[in-house]
């Protein structure tokens, strides 16, 4: 359920729903070329190297520390960009629960966002013993229940003979892509099917990892696709594209159906549940990439200050740094309408994240060649040809996605013109991928695994996690 929670979120359903019936074809394509390869690769690497660090450790084993640092840096930076958008969705959900007029008020968004993120950070300080079961409970109540209800309402709406907001014909499934801008808009869906590997940082703590990890990834993958496709279609059926609010699309479904039936009071309850689901979504991300950065600190790549952990084993100082950066970004809500720059943030974060995926796909191939004797309870079937088809195909898809997304998307919600969009995106991308290379040059061997550092696992139990 934590693997499902890290991918599934209400914030992506309105954007996906805006594509109408062709979104089924798009999801099928991305599942075959990207989502399935990610799951298979994460399963093989997860059971072969089920240690702390997750993706960082996999890339380090295959390509060395420099590229491992770049991989986890890209994963962390993309999530920093994503946090303000998902926190804005949380603020909108709360406004629906108490006063819908508040959803456009800047100070309200900032206060809610900061409160939720710092609460998620402090809860994760207790470690997985608390955050794991809480995340699962919030996923059930705040994501699965609202999405399934939205799907049920859409089915009832159509079954009662009411008109759909999109034409429901077989020809409607055929994608109508007549420009590179349309392709870019579709490719942005990469970001809504990413993250399945994030919980790999916890694989070492799983009972019977050789059996549990592949089954977990399979179950969560099926659940993610079912919720993503059917949830987005419920938005498409009930809310006209021109009326979709990218921060409140799922709640618009409830308002559209329940209001005329005299059940408008339920919208406030469902908004509260949706808020809980988004908090659970955030909680999984808060600790995942930061744990990998802590392992990088143990390798001496960043100052030993970031090796420190809480009593529950959470990477305390990395999480505090993250919370500080996110707080600054959230303050920008006072000056910018995130709905207007939603596409730019989505595409920028997706591009950066795909860099990490390219490194992960390369790593599984390198490790199969260099370390074939490492026990793997799960292996991508088909031998080396099968591995090259899965990992190679996923890598090529990721590279193509990075390149294509430099073109401006064809959408009315993009506030900047085409040339400004491309130059801004290029500047962001080059800066993000260059910084880890520069920072790596300042690493210090004396920082590596400081056994006497207060607050690290070595001072509590005498052994290092990952041994």
Mean pLDDT by runs of 10 across the 467 residues of the chain is: 70 73 84 86 85 84 93 89 82 80 80 91 76 74 80 85 81 70 68 70 67 77 83 81 62 72 77 80 78 84 84 84 90 71 76 93 96 86 92 93 82 64 90 91 79 44 34
Whether 374 maps to a domain, the answer reads yes
Whether 98 maps to a domain, the answer reads yes
According to the model, what pLDDT value does residue 221 have? 78
Q: Measured on CA atoms in the order 414, 229, 170, 239, is the torsion positive or negative? A: negative
Whether 467 maps to a domain, the answer reads no
Whether 333 maps to a domain, the answer reads yes
Domain count, the chain: 1
Whether 466 maps to a domain, the answer reads no
Could you list the residue range(s) of the whole structural domain that residue 377 is in?
2-461
Whether 286 maps to a domain, the answer reads yes
Q: Which two tokens stand for residue 204?
A: 């070492």
CATH number at residue 78: 1.20.1740.10
Judge contact between 401 and 350, C-beta under 8 A: yes
Judge contact between 174 and 1, C-beta under 8 A: no
According to the model, what pLDDT value does residue 366 have? 96
């Amino acid at each position: 359920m934590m693997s499902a929670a890290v991918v599934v979120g209400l914030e992506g359903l309105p954007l996906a729903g805006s594509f109408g019936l062709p979104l089924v074809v798009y999801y099928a394509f991305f599942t075959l070329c990207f989502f399935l390869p990610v799951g298979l690769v994460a399963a093989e690497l997860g059971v072969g190297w089920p240690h702390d660090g997750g993706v960082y450790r996999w890339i380090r084993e295959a390509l060395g520390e420099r590229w491992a640092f770049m991989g986890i840096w890209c994963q962390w930076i993309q999530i920093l960009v994503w946090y303000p958008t998902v926190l804005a969705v949380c603020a909108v959900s709360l406004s629906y629960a108490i006063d819908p007029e508040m959803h456009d008020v800047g100070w309200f968004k900032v206060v809610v966002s900061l409160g939720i993120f710092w609460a998620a950070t402090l809860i994760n300080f207790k470690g997985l013993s608390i955050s794991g079961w809480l995340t699962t409970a919030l996923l059930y109540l705040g994501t699965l229940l609202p999405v399934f209800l939205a799907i049920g309402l859409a089915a009832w709406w159509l079954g009662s003979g009411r008109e759909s907001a999109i034409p429901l014909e077989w020809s409607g499934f055929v994608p109508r892509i007549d420009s590179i801008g349309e392709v870019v808009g579709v490719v942005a869906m990469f970001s809504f099917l990413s993250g399945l590997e994030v919980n790999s940082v916890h694989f070492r703590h799983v009972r019977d990892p050789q059996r549990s990890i592949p089954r977990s990834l399979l179950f969560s993958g099926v659940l993610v696709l079912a919720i993503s496709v059917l949830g987005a279609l419920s938005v498409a059926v009930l809310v006209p594209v021109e009326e979709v609010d990218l921060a409140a699309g799922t709640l618009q479904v409830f308002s559209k159906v329940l209001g005329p039936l005299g059940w408008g009071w339920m919208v406030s309850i469902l908004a509260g549940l949706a808020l809980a689901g988004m908090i659970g979504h955030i909680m999984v991300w808060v600790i995942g990439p930061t744990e990998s950065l802590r392992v990088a600190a143990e390798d001496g790549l960043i100052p030993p200050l970031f090796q420190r952990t809480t009593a529950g084993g959470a990477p305390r100082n990395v999480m505090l740094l993250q919370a500080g950066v996110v707080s600054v970004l959230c303050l920008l809500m006072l000056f910018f309408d995130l709905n207007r720059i939603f596409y730019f943030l989505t595409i920028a974060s997706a591009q950066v994240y795909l860099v990490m995926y390219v490194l992960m796909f390369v790593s599984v191939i390198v490790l199969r060649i260099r370390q074939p004797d490492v026990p793997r309870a799960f292996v991508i079937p088909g031998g080396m040809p099968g591995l090259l088809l899965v990992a190679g195909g996923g890598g090529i898809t990721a590279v193509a996605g990075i390149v294509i997304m430099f073109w401006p998307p064809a959408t009315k919600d993009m506030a900047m013109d085409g040339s400004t969009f491309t130059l801004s995106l290029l500047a962001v991308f080059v800066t993000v991928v260059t910084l880890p290379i520069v920072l790596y040059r300042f690493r210090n061997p004396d920082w590596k695994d400081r056994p006497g550092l207060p607050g690290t696992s070595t001072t509590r139990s005498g052994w290092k996690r990952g041994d």
